[in-house]
Structure formats: structure tokens, C-alpha cells
Amino acid sequence: MLNKTSTSTHIIGDHIKKIQTKSDESLHHIRASAPIPNDEILCTLRQYAVRRHHSAPQHECRWQQAKRKAIVMQMYDTEKSYVEALKILVTKYYLPMKDRTIISNDLVNDIFYKIPEIHMHHTAFFISLTQKLALWDNKQTIGDLLLQMFAKQSIIETYTSFVTNYKTAQEAIRLCRDSSSFNKFLEQQAKDHRGKLTLRDLIIQPVQRIPRYELYIKDFLKCTNLNHPDYQLLLKAQNDIHSLAEEIDQVQREVGVGGSSVTSGGLFNDIGSSLEVVQDMIENLSDLVHPDRFYIRHDIITLQLTSGIKKDRCIFLFNDLIIVTSCKRRSGTLSKKGGSVILNSPSGKQYIDNVKHKLIMKIPLEDVDLASGQLKKTPVAANKSHLEEDVSILTHITELAKTISVPHQQLDESIKDTIHIVNKHLIEESEADSLNDNKSVNVQLTINTSERIETIEVLFSSFEQKLSWERSFLEAKKALFDAVGRRNVLFQHVLTLPHNRAGMQFSCAAARLSSNDSFPDVWVCNSDGFSSQVCLVNLHPDFNLKACNTVCTSKITCVAFVPAHNPKRSGGSTKRKHHPHVKHVISGGGTLGATPESLLDIDSSDDDDLNHGDTSSIHTDRLDSLTHDIFETSTLPIREEYIPEQDTREATMWLGTEDGGLQVFQCTETMKTVARKSRILRQLGSSIYSILHADNKVFIALGHGDLCVIRRDLNGRWDIDSPSIKTIGDIDNPVTVMTIAAGKIWCACKDKIIVVCPNSLNVEHSFIVDECHRHVGCMTSGGASMHHVWIASQGAHEVRLFHATHYQCLLETSIKSSVIQKLQTCDNIIRAHKFGCLRITALHVCKDILWVGTSAGIILNIAVPQIDSTMTKIGGALNVKGLAYGHAGPVRFLTSADIASPENSSMQTSPVTKTLVLSGGDGFEDYQSYDETLGKDDAMCHVILWQL
């Protein structure tokens, strides 16, 4: 068997040498007989690549001929490089590994599966291309050569087989990394390569290659006349190559190529390896590797701390994340593991010194923005003024389009695309003005945490580096928000809950995540006004009702999940009460609080040496209060009815009732114990309208206008018996709805919003929402770090978007036209009734999508627009999309939960999660088709499950 293998490898080697000799002779003939000197060809190629026009007038036919010659020369050069890369894989890797038995033959075959075949196909294609180019004239064709190559079933099977095996090849390389001889062999081969390309860089090229031929054909078609003999051949070749590219993409999706993904630029990027390299370099960094994450760039920067100290840091930019690190040093020199490491990004390969880093900050990209000073705009130029007028006109056209009675989806999409193009030009104009106006190397970033909005100053080494980083940052932010518009909302299932008592209706719901269970369930509360039930709905593995029990004799008005106590920051062991950078401040209201000077000041000590053992890191989404704030506690009447022994340091569910009852349940309990046992029951003396967990505190809105704040004691248990009270309204103006945005608590009192600091409980701002003085009915935000707050007034069909930091109304949009379109399949009487009393009944933000529930039972989706700290208005109308399924009666709640995908068993990557959204209401409707049988259960409570 070994003799047979050795013989075959020698045959392949001899064949390669013969083909290469023939190719070199043909190349010499091309260079000698080219009708145009080679320098002129390259000059033409460069001119074509940058799409420059000749200043001197030329005949169109001659210009097209020159462009065709330039394209074929570019195609020749890239094909030559590709064949050389394949030759290196075969002669420098595949054959030596077979001969030297560095690793087993099975692993060699797995790594280089179909590589020799691909090399032989493209070597033959390259020889044919060389011969074509040697005889090139104005009537020469290239489409027939492409057809001959890519219409063959053998080439299709070879490429699809290679892509199918690619995941196996990467896993085989990873397994071989344990062999020192294999590592030394790879290092030596990469060092000998003139471009210093590694095995991973070479072996990924076949997947990148096919789309290039499509681009060449498109360029050929642009400069080929319709009557040219090559035109029809190019069209046929374009169809065949496009079909091959689609087939390869389909194979990628089916096999789920791990650690690799197609980036927005269309390149197959080796994501997993780059993320693994970065994760290995940074101490205390975990869960970086994720299928949807890829590396973009890294930069050495200087951070300006609030204390005035400047620190050299490294900032890593990913498509959804920013990481700030410090480089580990030993005695003033970098502690290197040796050499540089190649990181793959959409812009190409990047090199980073293989040194150890210490994690300082890990921030979601959506929580970071350029400060207002960075977006300062110069005086508006004439073309920019025209673009703004275009936005106004398109907005007016959008409003007129909504009045059209016939379906007009294509018109809406065309208008939306035009608005997107105009807005893109506006952004480019603004960026150009900003770049011309500001030549500094400083960039100010605002970081939105659950406690506050912090500004840090980043200093780059040059103005060009700063511009490049800003451009990459803005493109990543834009791609992050554009992905929301492409996210599919899939209907999963509908669940009918039993009708145990007449008049039972949903009141609220929240997901419960147990500490010993990866899959949450949802607490759904319903009531008839006299008694209330809690129904536990399973989300995995099946969507069904787990249990349903009565818990109290009053209406449950709100429910909230409160996570377990986390006394330490993630990855750190520093005790906060001894932290040297905590300062105590006496506020104007006599409040004593403790706040850190800055997120970066917490790590401002000179701890770059390896001798320091403290490797604590700051995660902005887990910043807890540094000390226990002290407030003047008013005498709130608390009546204790039942106090069992319960450890409230674990995750809990909090229920509030209409008669002022507060119930706290442990998430580890089953439904049987939830019914009567293992709970804390307190009577707060006034109706509870809303419960909100934020900043390691629980905020409770009471009916007489007070805001009750409950903290943990020194042991980490909730100190329910000693709450702090802050009067926000009064008995006629209670706080009915709460949410958190930009680190502040937004409280709704009738038609007014009162913004409260969660630390000091001081009122920082207040404003009127509705000029008609309608009370606030629904309010939601995307989380503590988001810039947006959505508000709908009672009885209104408009939803307003407010900025979370300067409190301006960015836009107001009506959902009326979208509801009308969905009601077309309904009976005329039902349609008139639903439209006559149309109002918004529920709001929920999940994955940058606003979910809107209506009194008509229709559920709408609105993509959350990208918002920064300087925005005062949003141009253009929002795209409001009605879902195909809904409820017969009003939508009474919307909630969501993330569950880990059970298919993901890899220990090398972060858990793959899927997001589920639940809506609750009376009845179930299919708005795609009218079915008379659907109305029979309109009085029953239904829960609809969706997946993002």
C-alpha cells in the first residue's frame, strides 16, 4: 500500500513539473509577442482597476478593446498566483507530508482533500488561458474557455466536495497542532514562502476563488458589444459560474462550516482561528469565539484617564464587540511568546505581536458611540442641502403612499431603498465635513453602562490611523444595525391555555431562568380581578403548559425576574469596599453614595508587570453598585404575613398585586411549591404598578406616588424589611410604568415622564409626552445602555421615539395604515370595529426590533433605527411590518427569552442561543387567509411563540 501511494505521489509530482514547464514557455511567448508593451498593459490595467477616465478623447471601440485586454491580463495574473498557491499546497505540503510521515496518511488526506484535483483542473485552465492570451486579438473570446472549465461536472463535484470537507480539514489541522514536528514543519514552510503565507492562508483560497470569476465576467460584459462573438458565451458562462457559487454556498449552509463565515465583503473569512488566537492572547477572556462574531482590527492607543495619567493600551474591534487590553511586560520589555500572529479580517490579513495581554474592558459595540464632539458638522454645502430636501420630499411621498388602498409593497420598498441611498450620501457628506474640520488624533467615546454614561478619550498615533479606525467603527455599527432589517421573524407555535375560571385574562408575563437549568420557562399571569393564577410555560424541548396554580386573591399587576447575587465582577477578585478609587459624594438631597471615578480609573494602577496577580476586568453590562447607598427611609407600613427561610441570594421572581402585595419566589422551586410554599409575602400598603430590577436594586412603583427601592444586605440577601422610599408623584399621579435607559430610571406619571438617577434617586429631568395630555400607556427600551425609549399613550395608535440622554422626541409614527392592510381579510363589521377602537396595548424591544401589540390583535415589527448621542431627528419614515399571525382580541403582553441551542456541543465556542418572543392575548388569528373556524376559541387565552 505504501509503495502504491509513493508511486502515485511521484506521478503527480512529475505531472506538475511538465505542466509548469509548458506554462512557463507559454508565458515567455506571451511576453515576447504581446502587441502592446507589457508596461503599457499594466498601466491600462491600473487605470481600469481604479475606474479612471482618459483625459484624451478616444474612440469607444478602441477603449473597449483596451479594457478587454486589461481584464484578461488581470485574470491571467490572478490565475497564475492561484495556481502557484495550489502548487505550493501540493509540492511543499501534501507530498512532503506523505513522504516524511510527519502525521498519519489519514490526517494528510483529510487536510488536503481534493487539493491535487483542483490544482490539476486549474493548471490545465491556466495553460488554455495562456494560449488564448498569446493569440489575443479584437475578436478573441474568453467565454468559451470559462464554459469549458466550469460547466464540467468534475469541477463542480471537486469544489463542492472540498467545501464539504473544509470543516474536517480545519479540525484535522487543530488535532495535528499537538505534534511539535508538525508545527515546526508549518513554521518552516511559512518562512520559506515569499509572501509568508501560512497553511491556513493557502488552503482557504479555493473557497474564495469562484466569486472572482463572476466579477471578471461582469467586467467583460460591460466592455463587450452585443454583436461580439464573446457576448453570448459570457452570458452562458455567467449562469454556470453563478450556479456553481450558489451550490457552494448551499453546501456551506448545510454542513455548517465551523469557525468560518461569509463576511459582508463576500470573502470566506477564517473567523474561528482568529478569534481563538485573540482569546488565547488575552488573560481572563472567555466566550469570545462565536459563529456570528468576527475580528476587524486592533490598534495600539493611549487612553487619557480622568486623573490625567496616560496609559498605552490595545483596542480590539469586532463586528459586535470592543475589547481594551494592556500588554503584559517583564522588566520593561514585552514578554513575547515568539514572532507575530496573523489575524484574518474582512480587510485582509493583519499581524500582531504574539505577547500576553490583560483584559481591561469588554464592551458590546452597541453600547459605544462617538461623542458629540466627534460628529460636529461643518456648514452645510449646497449638495448637502439638496440631499436634506430630498429626505423631506421622500418622507412626504411615504405618507402619501400609505393612503393608497391597493397593495403597494413594491412601491414601499422602492421608496425605502431611495431613502437609504439619500441617507448614505448625507452620511458621507457629514463625514467629509467632519474630517476636514478636525485634524486631531483624539477620539472621544461614550460608553453606556447600567449606571451612567461615561466618556473616555482615545489618542491615536496619527491622524490617518484615527480616520481609519473611525471609518471601521462606523461601518461596524452600521452593519450591526443593518443586520436587524434582515433578521427573519419565524412563527413557531400557538398554545391555548385552559379556561379554569370565567373572565380570566392575561395581565403580565416574564421569563424565569433557573440557576440549574439552561432552558428558561415563562411565568404567565392571568386574573379575573378577584384571584390570580401563574401559568408556567415550557420553552424547551416542547412549547407546552407545565403547570397552572392560583397564588393570590388579588389581580397580579406586574412580574419581574431578578438575577442571583453576583458579589464579584466577572473575572476579578478585587473587593470593592477596599478599592482605592472609590470616592464618596454627598448629593444635594443629603444622599451618601459611592461611585468610581471612571471605568478606566479602576484599572489605572501601573499593573502591566507579570508579577501582579490581580487580573480583574470591567464588564459594563455587569457593573454593580460599589457600595450600599444610604437613604433616608420613610415610615412605609409593611405588613408581614408569611416569612419562610429563603435564600434570596439566588435568582428570584417578584410579583406585585393590585392590593399592594409583594411576593418573592425562588427560581429553583417547582410549581407545586410556588403555589403555597417557599415564598416571601409583604404588604406594602398601596397598589403595585411596576417592578424593575436595575443597578443591583429592585424598584417598585406604588399607587400613592412613592418609589420603593430594595437593596441587598451585607450577606447579599434582599433587605425587604428596610426599603428606601422616594416620593415621585402622589396619590393622584402615581408611577404606572417604569423602564431603564442610558442608566436612568424613566417613570411615567399620567402624561409626564420623570427621569430618576438609580443611585441618588434624585429627579434629573421631567417632560410632557403628549400635548393632548393622554396618559402614558406603554413604555419600553432596549436595555439600560440603549439610547432609545419608545412610548405610546393610552388610547393612541401612535408610538413616539425619545432620545434617552437629551430627551427629545426623535420621531412619531402611526401604526394605523399597517393595521388596515392586515385587516383586509376580516369581515367588514369586525374590521370596522377593530379599526374604530385601535390603540397600542403592548411594547417590547428585542434584538433591536420593536414589537408592537395592538387592540386589534395584530402584532407589528419596527426595526430600531441607529441612534447616537447627537441625533435630534430621524429622517424618513420607519418600516412597519405586520406579522402574519396574531390574536382575535387585544395583545395583552409581549416578552422574550434566550435559550441555548442543544445542537451546540462544542467546548471551543460560546453557546449558540436562539431568541424566542411570546405574545399573549385572546384568541388566535391567521391574517394570511380567512378561516371561519378560527373564531371559535376567541374567548380562550392564547400564547404565540416566535423565533428570531
Q: What is the pLDDT of residues 379-415, one digit of tens each?
A: 444 566 677 778 878 888 887 887 887 888 788 888 8
Q: φ, ψ for residue 299 (rounded to 5)?
A: -145, 145
Residues 724 and 740 in one domain: yes
Place 792 in a pLDDT band, splitting at 50, 70 and 90: very high
Task: Count the neighbouring beta carbons within 10 Å of the beta carbon of residue 694.
Answer: 18
pLDDT of residue 601: 52
Residues 226 and 355 in one domain: no
Question: What is the rounded end-to-end Cα distance, in angstroms, of the chain?
Answer: 53
> pLDDT tens digits, residue range 892-948?
999 988 876 554 444 444 455 678 899 999 888 887 766 555 555 677 888 999 887
Is the pLDDT reported for residue 332 higher than 50? no
Asked which of 343-352, 689-698, 787-796 is least confident by mean pLDDT, the reply is: 343-352
CA dihedral 262, 263, 267, 270 (to 10 degrees): -70
pLDDT of residue 438: 52
> Three-class SS of residue 570?
coil
Asked which of 379-393, 588-602, 790-804 is least confident by mean pLDDT, the reply is: 588-602
* Mean pLDDT, residues 261-265 taken together: 33
pLDDT > 90 in the chain, percent? 13
Task: Count the neighbouring beta carbons within 10 Å of the beta carbon of residue 819.
Answer: 24
User: Which of 587, 606, 634 is where one domain is finished?
Assistant: 634
pLDDT of residue 477: 83
Is the pLDDT reported for residue 689 higher than 90? yes
> pLDDT tens digits, residue range 6-17?
444 454 555 555
> pLDDT tens digits, residue range 524-543?
998 887 888 888 888 877 88
* Mean pLDDT, residues 152-159 taken together: 89
Residue 263 inside a domain? The answer is no
Q: At what angle do helices 409-437 and 382-401 cross, to 10 degrees?
A: 160
Is the pLDDT reported for residue 707 higher than 50? yes
Query: What mean pLDDT value characterizes the chain?
Result: 75
* Mean pLDDT, residues 154-162 taken together: 89
pLDDT of residue 635: 42
CATH code: domain of residue 458: 2.30.29.30
User: Which of 223, 255, 287 is where one domain is finished?
Assistant: 255
Residues 456 and 495 in one domain: no
Rg (CA), the chain: 32
Burial of residue 120 (CB within 10 Å: 0-12, 13-18, 19+) is middle
CA-CA distance, 221 to 723, in Å (whole number)?
74
Residues 422 and 463 in one domain: no
Place 322 in a pLDDT band, splitting at 50, 70 and 90: very high
Q: What is the pTM of this model?
A: 0.56
CATH code: domain of residue 871: 2.130.10.10
pLDDT > 70 in the chain, percent? 72
Residue 364 inside a domain? The answer is yes
Residues 482 and 532 in one domain: no
pLDDT of residue 2: 42
Residue 574 inside a domain? The answer is no
pLDDT of residue 248: 82
User: Which of 195, 229, 255 is where one domain is finished?
Assistant: 255
Residue 639 inside a domain? The answer is no
> Three-class SS of residue 619?
strand
Asked which of 145-149, 782-786, 838-842, 857-861 is least confident by mean pLDDT, the reply is: 782-786
Domain span at residue 419?
377-437
> pLDDT tens digits, residue range 33-84?
444 444 444 444 444 444 434 444 444 577 778 888 888 888 898 899 899 9
Residues 740 and 886 in one domain: yes
Place 328 in a pLDDT band, splitting at 50, 70 and 90: low
Residues 527 and 590 in one domain: no
pLDDT of residue 242: 87
Residues 107 and 244 in one domain: yes
Place 471 in a pLDDT band, splitting at 50, 70 and 90: confident
CA-CA distance, 338 to 187, in Å (whole number)?
12
Is the pLDDT reported for residue 721 higher than 60? yes
Place 452 in a pLDDT band, splitting at 50, 70 and 90: low
CA-CA distance, 567 to 403, in Å (whole number)?
56
Residue 641 inside a domain? The answer is no
* Mean pLDDT, residues 424-436 taken together: 66
Is the pLDDT reported for residue 352 higher than 90? no
Residues 875 and 846 in one domain: yes
Place 335 in a pLDDT band, splitting at 50, 70 and 90: very low
Residue 354 inside a domain? The answer is yes
Long-range contacts of 463-469 (CB under 8 A, 24+ apart): 463/439, 465/299, 465/441, 466/440, 466/441, 466/442, 467/435, 469/297, 469/299, 469/317, 469/443
Determine if the peptide bond prior to 758 is cis (ω within 30°).
no
Q: φ, ψ for residue 780 (rounded to 5)?
A: -155, 160
* Mean pLDDT, residues 432-461 taken together: 71
Residue 573 inside a domain? The answer is no
Which of 116-130, 512-526, 807-821 has the highest mean predicted lDDT (pLDDT)?
116-130
Quick one: which of 211, 232, 37, 23 has its CA closest to 142?
Answer: 232
* Mean pLDDT, residues 552-575 taken together: 69
Residues 673 and 594 in one domain: no
Which of 132-141, 473-482, 660-669 has the highest mean predicted lDDT (pLDDT)?
132-141
CA-CA distance, 271 to 290, in Å (whole number)?
9
pLDDT of residue 307: 67
pLDDT of residue 576: 36
- In angstroms, what CA-CA distances link 785 with 363, 367, 620, 868? 11, 6, 9, 12
CA-CA distance, 887 to 852, in Å (whole number)?
13
Residues 766 and 779 in one domain: yes
Q: How many domains does the chain have?
A: 4
Residue 497 inside a domain? The answer is yes
Residues 613 and 691 in one domain: no
> pLDDT tens digits, residue range 722-780?
888 888 888 888 999 999 888 889 999 988 999 998 888 889 999 998 888 889 999 99
Q: Give the three cell numbers for residue 619.
A: 464588564
pLDDT of residue 542: 80
Q: Are 12 and 118 in contact (CB under 8 A)?
A: no
Q: Which residue has the cell 424541548?
A: 541
* Mean pLDDT, residues 794-817 taken together: 88
